[in-house]
Structure 1
Amino acid sequence: MYGLFSLVEVMKEEKIIISEGNRPFWQSVTASFFFTISVILMAMFFFGYEVFPSEGVSSRWDFGVLWLAIACASQGVLFSSVKRVFFDLDTKRYKVQHSVGPVCVGQWKTLPEIDYVSVFRQPKSDGHYIFETNLWYQKNKHFNIYESVDPELAFAMGKSVAQKLNIDLLNATTPNNYFWVK
């Protein structure tokens, strides 16, 4: 999710949509490549099509080919999935939705009473950081609504959501030095 641009759209003042936006062109092309290879491999698995035909040996029902098809399809999903978070403040519900093209997965849940929004940094294995924007409720429970490698984007998201929900924003990017953002 990180590294992509985010949008906060307010519709009728009671609904908030946080979206990763569209995937970059190169990721869409890469996803298309993996999905195409997956379809070809599935055809090879079910119908016995062979790239390099050999007499006497059938590749139909070859589970190695099926495994490769599933691996390619999962790579296609990784390169094409988009995460959106919907808030409906009228009915006090939210939904985290993951979509690949027109296929969307996610369900509405009851929105708990949100205490505050926080932005904190999490180290990556390469020495850089990911900045996460979280909503906190019931004192110690939270869910992530946004991630970015750019702290300014994470804080902009946190400020927008905190302002809309009329709650406070906590800067938790420095360990043991947390402070409220005004």
Structure 2
Amino acid sequence: MEKFTFKRKLPIWKIILGSIAIGVGIVSIFSSFKGFISIGVGIFLLLIEGSEFDFKHQKYREVKSILGFNFGTWKPIPEIEYVSVFKTNETTTLRQLSAEANVTNEIIKLNLFYNTNQKIEAFNTYNIDKAFEKAKEIASILNVDILDATERETKWL
């Protein structure tokens, strides 16, 4: 594995609304300035964040992706001390005209730690096996240990 890219998945409703907003913006751009606003809203809805690693050249970048185009500045990968896999909660707020609800999901995160407490977020998933599979791949490339922090008692793998 020379390159590794992780991008969050967009919910289907964001894909639909973002595409509609961009389409409406393109059609209305010729008649008013509001077309630019609609295009901006569409781009915001379709924006995906993630990380990209190039282990061959020892570089990484935090990416923002829109319609398949990745943007971000490449930086050298620092001296990674260990790979950490842990569970956390991800809260999404859903709002409607007069109501609001918070939906909480358990998510597994994979971070690369360096300089004692600084981290690079490398991967998120809802599947613990997939997280450990990626952690083992990355740890073997970087020749570092894995910290399993998915349970109350942390352990080194």
TM tier, smaller: 0.7 to 0.9
- The one of 90, 96, 99 equivalent to 2:62 is 96
Displacement of 1:18 after TM fit?
2.5
Which residue number corresponds to residue 19 of structure 2?
Answer: 32
Establish whether residue 143 from structure 1 lines up as the match of residue 113 from structure 2: no
Gaps of 5+ in 1: 1-9, 47-62
Q: Contact 2:82–2:146 (CA<8 Å) still a contact in 1?
A: yes
Aligned mates of 1:20, 1:70 — CA distance in 2 = 21
Q: Contact 2:18–2:42 (CA<8 Å) still a contact in 1?
A: no
1:106–1:120 CA distance, 2 compared to 1 (3 A): same
Establish whether residue 107 from structure 1 lines up as the match of residue 107 from structure 2: no
Establish whether residue 119 from structure 1 lines up as the match of residue 106 from structure 2: no
Task: Give TM-score, length-normalised by structure 1.
Answer: 0.65
After superposition, where does 1:1-182 map in structure 2 within 5 Å?
10=1, 15-20=2-7, 31-46=18-33, 67-75=37-45, 77-78=46-47, 81=48, 83-89=50-56, 91-125=57-91, 126-175=103-152, 177-181=153-157
2:138 counterpart letter in structure 1 = V
Displacement of 1:69 after TM fit?
4.5
Superposition RMSD in Å: 2.9
User: Which has more radius of gyration?
Assistant: 1
Identity of aligned residues (%): 24
Aligned mates of 2:120, 2:151 — CA distance in 1 = 20
> What CA deviation, in whole Å up to 9, does each residue of 1:101-151 have, x standing for no partner?
353211111211000001111113334211110000011110101111222
1:73–1:40 CA distance, 2 compared to 1 (3 A): farther
**1:45 counterpart SS class:** coil
1:23–1:74 CA distance, 2 compared to 1 (3 A): closer
Higher strand content, 1 or 2: 2
Gaps of 5+ in 2: 92-102
Say how many residue pairs are matched: 146
